Amino acid sequence: MPRLDGKIAIITGAASGIGRATALRVAAEGARTVVADLNDTGAKQVAGEIAVAGGEATAVHVDLGDSDSVRAMVEAAVTAYGGLDVLHNNAAATRLAATRDLPVSEADPGVWDETMGVNVRGALVAIQAAAPHMIARGGGSVISTSSGAGRTGDLRNPAYGASKAALVSLTRYAATEFGQHGIRCNTISPGFIVIPGKPGRDTVTATMLRHHLTPRLGRPEDIAALVVFLASDESAFITGQDICVDGGMGAHQPFLADFRDQNH
């Protein structure tokens, strides 16, 4: 039997990257899937792929910076399928991180507020809207995509990193409040994930690979596999956790890559 048979899931940011891989995998495991994204065309394409593969999916527009839009997404899922079991808060304001999230000394408070509004407040509103429906079904699983950027410092993207750290904290508070209702809340912190077709990533892969303990870099499917586990009943005793999926990049001393190169 598929691991998510009979479950109803929302995946945000599902038109591309980690969200797309997750939506396809969740649907393949038997869940009726809401493919939610700001990109309507992409969301419809992914929902179509799921249908062709024999799954059941609905594309829904969502703007995580708009609380009414987030609530409408949850209601659309409940209207379409009669309830909700899984919420994957995956979408983030990556366009801001890529172009306008400047170092602390130059940071624009407006960009900071917008990043927090999408990455943290959007997740908060989604959890608030989803929880009553999960409670009505005896419980559920909330999985939020944090980031390795929320664990360590960098010379760029402080708003993004701070928002991801805040998302981990929010998740622990949600796990504490809703645990007795059967709702488990966890975060996944991906490391460097290679997104096929995403500009600029190929130029840094060799550098990033030096700092991994694994012989390859991460793929969207690596995150999707963990989402399925956390969404399934197999993870019934796991809640309030931040699980790092980074090929061991954050597990070793920072000078390891230099010593390894010297030994070769």
In eight-state DSSP terms, residue 82 is: S
Copy the structure tokens of residue 158.
């402080």
* Among 145, 171, 160, CA closest to 223: 145
Residue listed under structure tokens 């409670």: 135
Q: What is the CA radius of gyration of the chain?
A: 18
Q: Please tell me what DSSP assigns to residue 200.
A: T
| 14 backbone dihedrals φ, ψ, rounded to 5° | -90, 5
Q: 184: which strand partners?
A: 141
CA angle (18 as vertex; 167, 33 as ends), nearest 5? 90
**What 3-state DSSP class applies to 164?**
helix
The catalytic residue positions are 160
CB 62 within 8 A of CB 12: yes
**How far is the C-alpha of 234 from the C-alpha of 21, rounded, in Å?**
20
Helices (H), the chain: 17-28, 40-52, 67-81, 94-99, 109-116, 122-136, 158-178, 205-210, 220-231, 256-263
Residue 51's alpha-carbon distances to 178, 206, 218, in angstroms, are 33, 37, 27
